[in-house]
Structure 1
Amino acid sequence: MKIKWLVLGLYLLVNSLSILLFWLGAQVQTGIRMDIDVLAIVLAILLPGGIIFFFASQFERRIRKINDAIAGILQEEFRPAHHPEDSDELGTLSRAITNLGQQVNLSMLNNRQEAQKIQAILAGMQEGVISLDHVGRIVLLNRAAERLFGREQEAVRDKHFSELYGFEELEDLVTQALEKGISGQIELVTDSKLIIRAQVSPITGEKVRSQGAVIVCYDITEIRRLELLRTEFVGNVSHELRTPLTSIKGFVETLLDGASDVPHLRERFLNIIHKETLRLQRLVDELLTLSRIENQRQDSGQGMSKVQEAYEKIRPVIEPYAEAKKIELEIKIPRDLPEVGIGIDLLSQVLLNLMENAVKYTVKGKVWLHAFHDDGKILLEFGDTGCGIPEGDLPRIFERFYRVDKARSREQGGTGLGLSIVKHIVEGVKGKITVASELGSGSVFICELPTGNGEKKNEEESKEGNL
């Protein structure tokens, strides 16, 4: 029932009772019958009733505004309204609710802004973040966590963590964090072969039991791969250095023990020592070359050169080598071939390593170098009719120290770094190298290199754009 009707009804009831009692009293005192003036009675009731109804309506309207303001605060839709500066209790209450609503609005705005900042930070993090409530249900996954675990936030929200991933050891850490407030760390391997380091931390509150937990995940796949490569590299370098050093040490000790007095033994041992020393020198030189190329990779393409000029630099090395093995050389480099966007020293290194490899692993037949200009690129094709490369070894031949036939490579003086150096040089100028081979039929390496003209053109366009 509305207040105004309640107040009016109470007024009419009380007023009616008052008139009735007054009339009965008059009857008793006079002992005579009095005529009741109906009009006077009606006016006596309705006139004050109208006044009461008006003030009750005003009272109800003010209460309704206060109620609407409170409902707006509860529904997060509070809109401050101008209220008369009444000095009564309702006016004081109305002002207090208005102030409260404004403070709640400001607090909610600040909270919303902070939540947006947190969402932006979580979305931009490379680390995956998973937030769990006090019973282990997923509250939040950022984008990195979605990528690492292959799940979207909307699909997993409010689901228990153990229902999704099935990593028992990680579930144990989550249980410890929720029940005992203990942090923990573990490494996992996902279905997509990613290696993840997960750090589980409890969200502590005033109560003993944790209010939730946060799982922070780091993708350490690349780190582990690099650690493995570093370990293999150190092992390979140690092995490659140990072999010639052991040989040199052994022959030197033999000479010191008296073999130096025998002319033919002395000459033979010194030749072997010299050969192993050259092998050591070549290994160290190639390691330094590879290190220099890797450290200066951004600048490795500075300069331009012609393929013909680069080949002329290595001709005195390659042609006698091929002639000694009675291998036919076929060189086809067009005179009008555009310049390559790479320095002549690095281009010569590429030609030398690939041509030398082709001659080295070819017993009979021919080795060729064909150059083409195609769609803004220079294609260099290095082919041979040698022993070829097994299909299973093709993905790894550009790795440092990797050899298809280790014993044969060492006999021929190979270090296992030549193709790795070539790959770093070519990719350093945004080129590409591919290989096709068939065991027993030979191999073909193709290098795609950018032309110097294209590089100049890009630089000119860039300068014009800046102007």
Structure 2
Amino acid sequence: MLTDEHERIVSWNKYTETLLGMSEKDLRGKPVSMLYPPEEWKKIRGERIRDKGMQHHLETKIIKKNGELLDVDVSISVLKNHEGKVIGSIGVIKDITEQKKIEDKLAFSQGLFQSLMENIPDYIYFKDRDCRFVMVNRAKAARFNVEPSDMIGKTDFDFLLKDEAEKSLKQDKKVMETGKPIVNSIEKMTDRDGVEHWVSVTKIPRYNQEGEIVGIIGINRDVTEVIKSENKYRNLFETAIDPILILDREGRFVEVNKQVTKILGYTRKDLIGKRFDEIKILTPESLSRVADSFMKRMNGVDVPSYEVEVLTKKGERIPVEINANALLEGNEIIGDLVIIRDLREKKKKEEMEQELLESERRFRNIFDSTGDFLLYLEKNVILDINRAALSLGGLKKEDVVGKPFFDALKKLFSKEDLEKHIDAINYASQGVEVPEYETEVKTSDGNRYRFSFSVDCIRDEKKVSGVLVRGRDITYRQKAWEELVKLEEKYRVLAETSADGVITIDPLGRLTYVNPAFEKMCKRRKSKILATLFRDYLSEDSVYFFQQVFIDVRRTGEKIENVELELVDANGDVIPIEVNMAPFKKDEEFAGVVCTIRDITERRRIEDELKKSERLKTEFMNIAAHELKSPVTPIKGYLDLIISDKNATEKIKEWARVSLRNSERLLKLVNDILDVSRLDTDTMRFDMEKLNTVELLDEIAEDMKPAVENKNLKFIVDIPRDLPNVMGDKYRLSQVLKNILVNAIKFTDEGSISIKAEKKDNYILISVKDTGIGISKDDLKKIFTKFYQAYTGDDRKNEGTGLGLFICKEIVKKHDGEIWVESKLGKGSTFYIKLPYLHKMVLDSSS
């Protein structure tokens, strides 16, 4: 940037505009002071750069156009004329914002590291490759009653006894030679004053920027108090009945008693120094619970005892209760004391108790929930009675239990029936088998019911210990029989008055019942019809078909509906009828069929009229389609010429393109109508030939790929190379698959479209799957119907005639195949096409 003698900006480079976000209008002739915050400009002015008349270098801040401050490095050179007069200056500006951020982060990290070093209670130190201290924290220096600076440049030999210093030196060299750290090694140390300390030692290699080991980092922790406590409680620890173990803060085993090794099957050597999650001593579910509880205790949260499963070395699962407490050193948590209680005996006892309670509960539920009358007696005294029996007599349990049968239940039974019960109970008490008997029961509301009773003896070690009396209400059975008789009469009346014919046929095909409507239909009297064969009243063409249906009903035991036959009346006239057949049984054996017969003469007449109307409609559509196609073809040709004409304007070409698209739409509609017309009249031509299925599907996938990718959809093609050949019309099968793929592209805005083929038993299954809008359940039933469209609102985005899928279905049918769709609204659709192998189709056509 160049300024004049008045410190106004007169020239600058492009980078200056980019850096400041300013234009020429913002800079030209403006005082350079506007680029600096007031306090920064004051500092710059204080440097008296122009008076000194030399190159000057400084770090400052400048203001961008958007008000943002930038850290910059500015080099200013003063310009003078031949007389030595200042005529301006040149400033070179360098953006050092990122550099400043890095410097600030580095300063923060250094401050954080220094704060950590000075305040952490662990002994932290750094050594060089000669094992001399290059940095120690205050805790490490205080350990030897010196200042940190007193240890710099010295070795362990200046502070420890010779043996311990040599041991430390070997450790340091081993770490630097192998690159492997020493972690939490518990060691006994004696300082020069003769004081013994137990220390947890960790040493890790220290690397330079080139990845070379240049020394070690050491972290020591005084665990003397922990070790003293350990010795104090060692006897109690080892002689405890329950397994006890100690973990450090990282979850490593520090100590275990004999019971731990006994229950788990591991030795102390297997466990000590390992984390509890390194050894497979917990089930996966239990490991998660134990780890969570451990972390809570290490963070000072009390955790109540809980149950988990441990795994022995042999893989046996053992249920245990964990009771753990954090180990403290002063106010600092240094580990975990865990007591394990074996719950196998307790669980076994609980299971037995639970099984006993469950068994009793099941018996009680059965006893009370059954609708039968139940009571249990010993020595003719009632010890239990169920709810049904109490409810029946309006009794309370306390009024019945503990009393003799006669006294407790005399309200329910007559004197004669009571004596029946007493006799049956006495016989059963002696172990004699008692046959079922019936009595009346009088309920609390005065109603009387008929019950069937049985009495069974309950044995205990081959001796009769009690008697169970069970009664079942058979009143309904009698009423049901009466209702059945009434119902039979009711249905007979319905049959007699039905407008449709109703007949029954025995297993030999003979008529055993006919209603008046059937008599009228046959123009014969009932007396002339009964006991004759039903087939005698059918036309020759219907006899064989009826016999086959009759056999199917007898074999499957299921009804068959809508069987169309021809009945011949007494005058010889043929009457078209529709028959529904249902089997009926007697004593679980086939006893014949019941048939309803409807005269469908009028329906046939209406169907013929509809077919005639449909034929006329098809002929009209065929003629209309041909008439429409004739003018559309030359129109389309002329539009193509306009689009390719160099002299036509772009506006005219655009009109031509719009017209061409609509012409193609109209042509497709005409072709669809022609196809429907040919299918309806069975005049569509099929050039059947042996087709290579793989080549056919590859060509279709290649043709449709651009259309799929133009919508930014993923196109998935899965066509095995070993698919067998099919017999078919290549053009028509391509028409089917392309129609389905075009629909998939239409109704899919994101996701993927896939075409897949696979070989099945005797057929090839082709599927086209999309991730589009899907089809509702109601629409799925009609999707292959002529002219049907799933959505016909004014706001629909996609055009169509509703003929495509109908044509697809008919073409696939002509190939002895099947087509169907599976879909969920909003989830996409999958269309399936099933085509038989070549050999299967050849056999079918020859047969």
Q: TM-score range by the shorter chain?
A: 0.3 to 0.5
Q: TM-score, normalised by structure 2?
A: 0.27
Bigger relative contact order, structure 1 or 2 (CA pairs below 8 A, ≥6 apart): 1
Q: TM-score, normalised by structure 1?
A: 0.46
Greater helix percent: which structure? 1
